[in-house]
Structure 1
Amino acid sequence: MTRLVMKFGGTSVGNLERIKRVAKRVGVEVARGHEVIVVVSAMSGKTNELVGWVGETGPLHDAREYDAVVSSGENVTAGLLALVLQHNGIDARSWQGWQVPVRTTSAHGSARIEDIPTDNLATKFGEGMQVAVVAGFQGISPEGRITTLGRGGSDTTAVAFAAAFGAERCDIYTDVDGVYTTDPRVSAKARRIDRIAFEEMLELASLGAKVLQTRSVELAMRYDVRLRVLSSFEEMDENAGTLVCREEDIVESKVVSGVAFSRDEAQMTLVSVADRPGISAAIFGPLAEEGVVVDMIVQNIGEDGRTDMTFSLPVDMVPRARRAMDGVKAGGEVNFRDLLVDSEVAKVSVVGIGMRSHAGVAAKMFRALSEFGVNIKVITTSEIKISVLIDRKFTELAVQALHDAFELQKA
């Protein structure tokens, strides 16, 4: 029998009626002859409620107990789904992270999966179990304490199980019916993509597309796990959703597959920095120590031994970055005349594996933006993406202009 992993997010299991609908979907796959591993999230809103309760206990708390509380939402969902499946005549049982076990690092709140032994579940499947309902987002540390995997942890759990058990596919059920060429709320012309390469999906996820969590796509690419993104609120169809797969499994790729954007960006510039070897390390080392995630970096051509250094960062990390830069200036490691911050910028990107073999993508992108009066502040490129930093007020206009320029509405 082939194995299939199905993952259901918080909105898909938001109440008992939706859990019953999920059970019917699982039942269809069981009837097709699959041994099914279902990974579930907490009901929508429950994790935030649990986090709030922890916060009310006091400003400081034990991270180990935080994980013990916050992970309980998934346990409730797993137990309820197992009960409904049993009521439907399907041999199912729930599994918490420590029972599998999902072995993780000790970083509470942001643990990483290190190993998923298959013996316990394989034994139960051999004894007749048809469905294993696994609580996502959680595992167990080497010290024997419950851990949680951080944002999007249930997606990562699902992909990890698919890799460990050699699953035929990992289906990620959400409240959208697949991956789109851009956010449909921004462009009415956005089109669902039938197939997309791992590399493209990874870029889109890291650049602002919120359909899949970046870590889960990284894991799927590393272990060649075929992912399918589809809606839990639409009728089941073999051709539904978007398949995330190897580039070789796509017959012909468009030059650009999608337009991604992130509004929560800021731009920071160190004015008149000494242009000397080691200056970049002196700047970005302290930023890393403060946990500041830096993305786009531009250094101007030096003049009279001085230069300007510009970089982008998440807007909520600006205070940390200021603290780091004030520290290096006070300590004498980096001497700059001024620190300029623009917190009203956005990052817009075009992504496509077809860029590897097509010239003129950047020219078309810049021309499309210029025709609508959108000024570009910073540009970065890679083999399959081009990103620009622009004024945030032009975000939707830029996305729509690029979507039209590359004709992404066409199949």
Structure 2
Amino acid sequence: MPVLVMKFGGTSVATLDRIRRAAKRVGVEVAKGYDVIVIVSAMSGETNKLVGLVDETSPLYDAREYDAVVSSGENVTAGLMALTLQEMDVPARSWQGWQVPVRTTSAHAAARIEEIPTDNIMAKFGEGMRVAVVAGFQGISPEGRVTTLGRGGSDTTAVAFAAAFEAERCDIYTDVDGVYTTDPRVCEKARKLDKIAFEEMLELASLGAKVLQTRSVELAMRYKVRLRVLSSFEEQSDEAGTLVCDEEEIMESNVVAGVAYSRDEAKMTLVSVADRPGIAAAIFGPLAEAGVNVDMIVQNISEEGRTDMTFSCPTNQVKRAEKAMEEAKAKGDINFHGIIADENVAKVSVVGIGMRSHTGVAAKMFKVLSEDGVNIKVITTSEIKISVLIDRKYMELAVQALHDAFELEKAS
């Protein structure tokens, strides 16, 4: 029988009533003739509660025990979902990561999936099991310890299972009914997209859209897994939600597919750095080693052998970045006159595969922001996206203005 993967996020399994509702959706797909692999998250709020217990018990915790505790939330949901399906006379069985086994690296709390053998689950399907309910977010290390994949890791689990089992589709059930042109809470004209290309979704996810975890989209693109994002709280049809798919499946699309934003950004400038070969490596090497996620980078014109180097990073990494730079300066690796940190900025981006074949998108974006009195501090571009750093107080205005300017409320 064809295999379908269905993933239910924390809000979709937050209570027993919601688990029953999710189980009914699974039952519908079983009735259509699918063998179903259900990936479940922990019940809403449970992971935060478990993380809090670990922090309270041991502030400098052993990451192996952190994973042992934090992964337990998914085990509870998987068991409850399997029991609910059994009550509906659907042959179901729960699976923890180690039972599949989901083989991962040893990087506790941030493990990566290396292999998912299909033999055990396929054998059970052959014996009459119709639904395998798998605890998301978890796996097993080469040393035989439980690992977790990082926050949002259940999305990655679902896509990895869809790739391993060559599933017809991977449905991600969440608390939104699809992918929108921008955040509907910021722009009321935001429109739900019927389809979006993998590359566009990857850019939107990495630029602040929180619908899907970035790693899950990377996996889907690499293995050509058709993803569908749906609401677990609304009536479904075969056309519901948003399909994340290959560019070739989209006949026509707008030049710009969506506007993304990230509120918690900081702009950091190293003032008067010696302009010499290797200076960029001397700056960004220590930042990488310190775990600072650098995004936009701008180097000013050199004057008398000195230059300013500006970069952006998340606001919660500013202190770490400052420490790394001061340590590098103390070692004599770099020399600068000061560090300026501006934590009141936001990143706004426009994304679209249509940019490859259309000119003038950047000019239009800059003109719109200028007309609304929004000053651009930093600009970065790729083949299908343009991002700007602006004062945070203008973020919502910028998102709304760009959404209007590119007429994203209209379908192509």
TM-score bucket of the superposed structures, by smaller chain: over 0.9
Which position in structure 2 is the counterpart of 1:131? 131
What corresponds to 1:262 in structure 2? 262
In 1, the alpha carbon distance for the partners of 2:36 and 2:126 equals: 13
TM-score under structure 1 normalisation? 0.99
Deviations 1:259-288 (A, max 9, x none): 000011000111111111111111111111
Q: How does 1:3-402 map to 2 (within 5 A)?
A: 3-402=3-402
CA distance, structure 1, for counterparts of residue 312 and residue 155 of structure 2: 28
Residue 382 of structure 1: how far off its partner (Å): 0.2
What amino acid does structure 2 have at the position aligned with 1:131?
V
Give the letter for the 1:194 counterpart: D
Deviations 1:317-370 (Å, cap 9, x if unpaired)?
000110011112222221111211101000000000000000000000001101
CA distance in 1, matches of 2:265, 2:287: 16
Counterpart-to-counterpart distance in 1, 2:52 and 2:332: 42
Helix, strand or coil at the partner of 2:13: coil
Q: Secondary structure at the match of 1:324?
A: helix
Distance 1:408 1:109 in 2: 38
> Displacement, 1:66?
1.1
- Displacement of 1:218 in angstroms is 0.2
- What displacement does 1:206 show? 0.1
- Cα deviation digits, residues 47-77 of structure 1 (max 9, x gap): 1111111122122222111111111110110
Structure 1 SS opposite 2:233: coil
Equivalent AA in structure 2 for residue 174 of structure 1? T
SS in 1 for 2:12: coil
**In 2, distance between residues paired with 1:226 and 1:351?**
20
- SS of 1:12's equivalent in the other structure is helix
| Structure 1 segments of 4+ aligned residues over 6 angstroms from their partners | none
Tell me how far 1:11 sits from its aligned partner: 0.3
Which segment drifts farther, 275-284 or 202-211? Answer: 275-284
Counterparts of 2:89 and 2:402, CA distance in 1: 51
| Number of aligned residues | 411
Instruction: Please give the alpha-carbon distance, in whole angstroms, between the structure 2 residues aligned to 1:12 and 1:82.
Output: 15
User: 1: CA distance between counterparts of 2:334 and 2:394?
Assistant: 34
Give per-residue Cα distances to partners, 1:71-106, cap 9 Å, x unaligned. Answer: 111011000110110110110000000000000011
2-structure distance, mates of 1:112, 1:167: 21
Once the two structures are overlaid, the 10-residue window that deviates more, 329-338 or 222-231, is: 329-338
**2: distance between equivalents of 1:56 and 1:5?**
36
Whole-angstrom distance in 1 between the partners of 2:265 and 2:60: 29
Matched residue of 1:240: which SS? coil
CA deviations on 1:86-143 (whole Å, 9 max, x unpaired) are 1101100000000000000111111000000000000000011100000000000111
SS of residue in 1 equivalent to 2:344: strand
Partners of 2:78 and 2:87 lie apart in 1 by 14
In structure 1, what is the Cα distance between the partners aligned to 2:337 and 2:51? 43
Give the AA of the match of 1:113. Answer: I
Q: What secondary structure, in the 3-state scheme, does the structure 2 residue paired with 1:377 have?
A: strand
Percent of counterpart pairs with the same letter? 80
Against the structure 1 CA distance between its residues 60 and 338, is the aligned structure 2 distance closer, same or farther, given a 3 Å change threshold?
A: closer
Tell me, which stretches of 5 or more residues in structure 2 are unaligned?
none
Distance in 2, matches of 1:338 and 1:236, equals 57
Counterparts of 2:332 and 2:313 in 1: how far apart (Å)? 24
**In structure 2, distance between residues paired with 1:215 and 1:161:** 14
TM-score between both structures, scaled by the size of structure 2: 0.99
Distance across 2 between alignment mates of 1:65 and 1:274? 46
Counterpart amino acid of residue 45 in structure 1: G
Post-superposition Cα deviations, 1:172-199, rounded to whole Å, max 9, x if no partner, equal 0000000000000000000000000000
Q: 3-state DSSP class of the match of 1:311?
A: strand
- Give me the whole-angstrom Cα distance separating, in 1, the residues matched to 2:290 and 2:60: 20
SS of residue matched to 2:339: strand
Cα distance in structure 1, aligned partners of 2:139 and 2:387: 36
**SS state at 2:11 partner:** coil
Which amino acid in the other structure matches residue 135 of structure 2? A
Q: Report the Cα distance in structure 2 between the residues aligned to 1:342 and 1:161, rounded to whole angstroms.
A: 42
Determine the C-alpha separation between the residues in 2 that align with 1:305 and 1:56.
51
User: Structure 1, unaligned stretches of length 5 or more?
Assistant: none
